[in-house]
Every structure is written in structure tokens, then in C-alpha cells.
């Protein structure tokens, strides 16, 4: 009986992982989009390439990719476009974050990404968790750029900046920075995405197809 249950569990896991092959490279659907996959390199809060990122690609469910295409088209009317920092994030990457957060002596990128937060409180404050919505394949981290110059619009903080300054509702930034955040939220909302109260760059497809699945297949 145990062998049968084990086989069923293994088959279920394989079927779940097979679903990741349905994810699409956003560049194949939206060629004009800019990508800077930070977890493929060292410019992130850990300071090294993150487990599970074998290529600098933005992978998303086909439904999320359609929404991104809609947002890109809307911005394109004004000479603007999207730039993504992260999309599908495999579970091994999330596990890497957890291991790093427990290594309290490793703070080499603290000044850039979490200057106001003691590393020992990253779990308590919700900046690091054992699971991420990114692992479901319909969440992305994104900003707006000028299509001609590729320059990012000023959002008042950098991506993955662990601070209330990054909250979309934060008032201690300039009117122009608040307007840029509002524009991003409006465009993504009109394309079917929901924002996050703590991160101006984070959006999840409202009707995501894999609401209860967290995938482990690498980005490749």
C-alpha cells in the first residue's frame, strides 16, 4: 500500500512539474519588452546568482504573458514600455533566500537593499518567506521605461528595496515619483493584474491559472 501511495505521489509531482513547460518566454510574446533578470546575476540582495536561474529569462504562464502584452501595448502608445526584473521564480530559488536569511553574518548588499532592516528581522517583517507567489508562474516584478532611451522612470526607490519607502502608498517621495507609481499600477491593473501593498513593482494576474501550485522547474 505504501508503494502504491508513493507512486501516486510521484506521478502527481511529475504532472505538476510538467505544467511548467506551458510557461512562455515573455520575449517571444512581447519582443519590445526589456528584461533584466536580477536573480540570474549578482545585483540582488543576496549578492550572487540564485539557485534555479539557469538563464536570464522571464517565464510566465500564457495567461499572464497575454496580460503583459496588453500593458506593453498601452504604454507603447506614449513611447513607454515595461522592464521586468523577475517573473517565474522556482522553489529552489525561494529556498536559497531562506538559507541566506539565516546566515546573519552575510550582509554584503545590506546598504543597497535593506539598510533600515536588521537581517535577523527579515522573516518577521515578511520580506523573506518559505513560499512565493512568483513560483506559481503568473507574478512579475516590473517597472516602466522610456522606449527610446531605455531609461527607467523614477519610482522613488529601487527594485527589491526592503522599506516602507517601497510601498505604493508611501507619501514621502516627490509628486512625479508618485505619479509614475500610479501610472504603473493603472496600466497593470487594466491588463488584469493586482498589485502588492508593500512593493510598487510586484504584480500578480488576478485570474492566475495555478493558484495552488508552486513549481520547482528551473528557469532555462
Residues linked to residue 82 through DSSP beta bridges, in sequence order = 144
Q: Is the four-CA dihedral 176, 36, 19, 67 of positive or negative sign? A: positive
DSSP string of 101-141? HH-TT--TTHHHH-TTS-GGGTTTTTSS-S--GGGGT-EEE
CA–CA distance, 135 with 46 (Å, rounded to integer): 18
Active-site option among 121, 198, 199, 208: 199
The DSSP code for 208 is -
The backbone torsions φ and ψ at residue 85, rounded to the nearest 5 degrees and listed phi first, read -105, -30
CA–CA distance, 157 with 167 (Å, rounded to integer): 10
CB neighbours of 162 closer than 8 A, spacing ≥ 6? 45, 113, 114, 116, 117, 122, 125, 127
Q: Is 63 one of the annotated active-site residues of the chain?
A: no
Residues with active-site annotation: 199
Amino acid at each position: 500500500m505504501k508503494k502504491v501511495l508513493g507512486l501516486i505521489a510521484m506521478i502527481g509531482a511529475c504532472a505538476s512539474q510538467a505544467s511548467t513547460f506551458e510557461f512562455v518566454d515573455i520575449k517571444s510574446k512581447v519582443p519590445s519588452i526589456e528584461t533584466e533578470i536580477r536573480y540570474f546575476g549578482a545585483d540582488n540582495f543576496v549578492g550572487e546568482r540564485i539557485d534555479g536561474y539557469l538563464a536570464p529569462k522571464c517565464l510566465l504562464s500564457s495567461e499572464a504573458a497575454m496580460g503583459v502584452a496588453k500593458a506593453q501595448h498601452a504604454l507603447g502608445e506614449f513611447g513607454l514600455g515595461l522592464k521586468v526584473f523577475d517573473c517565474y521564480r522556482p522553489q529552489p530559488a525561494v529556498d536559497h533566500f531562506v538559507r541566506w536569511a539565516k546566515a546573519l553574518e552575510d550582509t554584503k548588499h545590506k546598504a543597497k537593499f535593506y539598510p533600515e532592516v536588521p537581517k535577523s528581522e527579515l522573516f518577521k517583517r515578511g520580506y523573506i518567506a518559505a513560499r512565493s507567489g512568483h513560483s506559481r508562474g503568473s507574478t512579475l516584478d516590473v517597472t516602466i521605461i522610456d522606449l527610446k532611451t531605455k531609461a527607467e522612470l523614477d519610482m522613488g526607490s529601487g527594485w527589491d528595496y526592503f522599506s516602507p519607502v517601497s510601498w505604493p502608498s508611501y507619501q514621502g517621495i516627490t509628486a512625479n515619483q508618485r505619479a509614475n507609481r500610479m501610472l504603473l499600477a493603472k496600466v497593470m491593473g487594466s491588463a488584469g493584474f493586482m498589485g502588492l501593498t508593500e512593493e510598487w513593482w510586484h504584480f500578480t494576474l488576478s485570474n492566475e491559472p495555478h493558484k495552488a501550485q508552486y513549481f520547482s522547474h528551473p528557469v532555462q
